[in-house]
Amino acid sequence: MAKQELDKLTQSYFRTFTIRVEVLPEYLKRKSYSDVIRESQEALELFLKALLRSMGWSPSFSHDPGKELSELKKNIPVEFKEIEDGLIEWSKKLRRERELSYYGAQDFIPSEEYSEKEAKEALLFLEEVSRRLKKYLQK
């Protein structure tokens, strides 16, 4: 599917996504793994909402826009086809962690619950999305 002209909000979402992905390694370096998870969720949510908008779809206010993307798989831009399942899965996974990774709970201290491995996995996936986004935006 051909990319539509991107409106200012879509451009802003893509720009914010890119900045957040660039900042995530600093959290990782400081061993703030819960912040990597939380910021990854917010970054991916913005990316997916921008992607949906670029496909001509008005995303809902859900924190899991991967659900909407799954309904529009046939329209996903070629740059993201190979990772479309990952986009949907990561959206769901990170959505589940959204509040816990930030607020925690009496029996769930965010700074103690997330591992370096979990943080690195999220970061690596988002870096791949970012690389593909750059190609998409250069068209």
For the stretch 65-123, pLDDT in tens is 998 998 898 999 999 999 999 999 999 999 988 888 888 989 999 999 999 999 999 99
The residue-averaged pLDDT of 44-71 equals 92
At residue 61 the predicted structure's pLDDT band, cuts being 50, 70 and 90, is: confident
Q: Given a cut of 90, is residue 8 above it in pLDDT?
A: yes
> Could you give the 3-state DSSP secondary structure of residue 115?
coil
Nearest to 80 by CA among 100, 50, 42, 107: 50
Q: How many structural domains are present in the chain?
A: 1
Per-residue confidence band for 3, with pLDDT thresholds at 50, 70 and 90: low
Q: What is the CATH number of the domain that holds 25?
A: 1.20.120.330
User: Is 52 inside a domain boundary?
Assistant: yes
Has residue 74 been placed in a domain?
Answer: yes
**Residue 62 in domain:** yes
Strand partners for 105: 108
d(CA 19, CA 31): 19
Cα 39 to Cα 78: distance, rounded to the nearest angstrom = 26
Provide the residue range defining the domain that includes 104.
8-138
1 inside domain: no
